Amino acid sequence: MPTAHDLQPDVREEDRVLQFREDVLKGLKSGTKRLSSKYFYDAKGDALFQQIMHCPEYYVTRCELEIFRGQAADLVRAITMKDKQPFDLIELGAGDGIKSRHLLRALQEQPCEFTYIPVDISGNILSYLEESLADLNGLNILCLEGEYFDMLAEATKISANRKVVLFLGANIGNMPVYEAEKFCDQLRNALQPGDIVLMGFDLKKNPQTILNAYNDEAGITRDFNLNLLTRINRELDGNFDLDTFTHYQTYDPETGACKSYLVSSTEQTVTVAGTPISFQEGEWIFTEVSQKYSMKEIEVLAANSGFSMDTTFFDSKRWFVDVIWIA
């Protein structure tokens, strides 16, 4: 099955690097330095994130997996509804699809036809995903590599079927709250009444549990964070010295924002794509937010963007929730 990734790979690659350079330079030249967490996911970053998902401290994936393993039948009932019309199952930020696999198998056992359309910014992980799902006989799959809404528009061009959009793994947490609100508005506008969203949120809980999940003993999250600098060195001809940057993690239980930074331990000047970037000793680069929610905040988010809350699925500790919203 061809993927969007296969179409004119050279042109796409060139555009991708140009965009990366523009974003990185803008972020590093700004008064408060920042880099977008979407750039974590090169081949090395994908592999490190897979390792994070196996860290004892990183409960997020295990909680959602428990929901998908234990409640697949209920999830299927909630997303297929009564009409039995074929639908498109579009997964935004699909990654390696470990969780979706349970859902896909349960869906294959019911009579309703569907096409699985995983969307991801990493073509690398999509190839891996497609291969890992090869044993699901008869699965209709179409991989789309790119940004969420570009690919959602692409999917709408390809098919007029009812849509079920999966946005799992607390991926929405990578947006600050005001962006998540914009995202949900935009998502609602891209859908038709009756379309369904299945969204995963990491819930507020003991702050120490959350902080530890992003500050694991083995230092995998640190390496994941630092890999962004390695990627800049390689793809944008940068000269970051990784020994002079440390991983710094915070969690604010009141706002629910869990944030990652890279802190320069010395005063220094780094060059990226020919542009000098100077750092004070102790100056930081903000690299990621992983926003945590309360149920109340999730309800408000749904209501404000015009979705109606349908079903909720919790893990046994109630640390994570998958919610069904109807457009």
CA distance linking residue 276 with residue 238, whole number of Å: 10
How far out from the chain centre does Cα 33 lie? 22
Q: Does 293 bind ligand AVJ (CB under 6 A)?
A: no
CA distance linking residue 165 with residue 323, whole number of Å: 12
**HSE, side-chain direction, 13 A CA sphere, residue 41:** 18
Of the candidate residues 80, 124, 174, 305, the single one contacting ligand AVJ (CB under 6 A) = 174
CA distance linking residue 33 with residue 228, whole number of Å: 14
Query: Candidates 104-112, 152-160, 171-179, 233-241 — which segment interacts with ligand AVJ by CB under 6 A?
Result: 171-179
Query: Candidates 126-134, 168-176, 182-190, 303-311 — which segment interacts with ligand AVJ by CB under 6 A?
Result: 168-176
Residue nearest to ligand AVJ (CB): 290
Q: Which is nearer to ligand AVJ, 174 or 305 (CB)?
A: 174
Contacts for 248 with CB less than 8 Å, ≥ 6 apart? 260, 261, 262, 263, 284
The contact mask relative to ligand AVJ for 232-271 (x = CB under 6 A, - = no) is: ----------------------------------------
The contact mask relative to ligand AVJ for 50-79 (x = CB under 6 A, - = no) is: --x-------x-------------------
Q: Which is nearer to ligand AVJ, 33 or 247 (CB)?
A: 247
Give the DSSP letter of residue 263.
E
CA distance linking residue 204 with residue 182, whole number of Å: 21
Sites of contact with ligand AVJ (CB under 6 A) = 52, 60, 169-171, 173-174, 214, 221, 224, 288, 290
